[in-house]
Amino acid sequence: MDPTPPETVFKFTAEGVDLEFAGTEAFVERQVTRFRSFLQGAVGIEATDPDPAEASTTEAPAAAPAANFPKFIEGRPPREGRGAIQDRILLAIYFMNVVRKQREVSSDDIVYCFRQASWERPKNLHNALGILKRKVGHLQEGSRRGLYQLSPVGLQYMDGRYHSGA
């Protein structure tokens, strides 16, 4: 008997957009969850916050009211002017790491948060991420290239800046 688990495939096509995820069931579930609001919008369903029954069992109860990024930033206005882009990037990563319990964040996750907040996308996101990681020390590299998470210093900075754990 072949010990390799069967491949799970998810295909979606709507108005010129074709999505296909293939891999383990867990991988496909993560991708569908990640693209949930897009998929709901594509089929005409108003995007909603995740069902609490589907939420991770490790998610803190305090995170429930801030299940989407625009609600999360309502009480956490980012800086304006110098440092605004870095502050917004840190807010996006903080939201994904702390509220959504997503251990590692990609540049796509950050751009998604920027879109949700109607913020202009950073002109050179990778450069800003590099500065936050190497020079400022608020980020650390994830398990592979292009994935990030807040460093302990970055987490402490964000907790102190916004007086809240989530």
pLDDT single digits (tens) 115-135: 999 999 889 999 999 999 999
Is residue 17 assigned to a domain? yes
| Angle in degrees, CA 139, 52, 113, rounded to 5 | 35
Residue 125 within a domain: yes
**Strand partners for 9:** 22
Residue 52 lies inside a defined structural domain of this protein? no
Q: Give Cβ neighbours of residue 12 (< 8 Å, ≥ 6 apart).
A: 18, 19, 20, 39, 42
At residue 38, the 3 state secondary structure works out as helix
pTM summary value: 0.59
pLDDT value, residue 128: 94
Kindly tell me if the per-residue pLDDT of 99 is higher than 80. yes
Residue 19: its pLDDT value, please? 77
Q: Is residue 38 part of a domain?
A: yes
Per the structure, the complete domain to which residue 24 belongs is given by 8-42
Q: How many Cβ atoms sit within 10 Å of the Cβ of residue 88? A: 21
User: Which pLDDT score is estimated for 64?
Assistant: 36
* Amino acid, single-letter form, for residue 29: E
Question: 51 lies in a domain?
Answer: no
Q: Pull the structure tokens for residue 19.
A: 């999505």
Q: Where residue 124 sits, what CATH number does that domain have?
A: 1.10.10
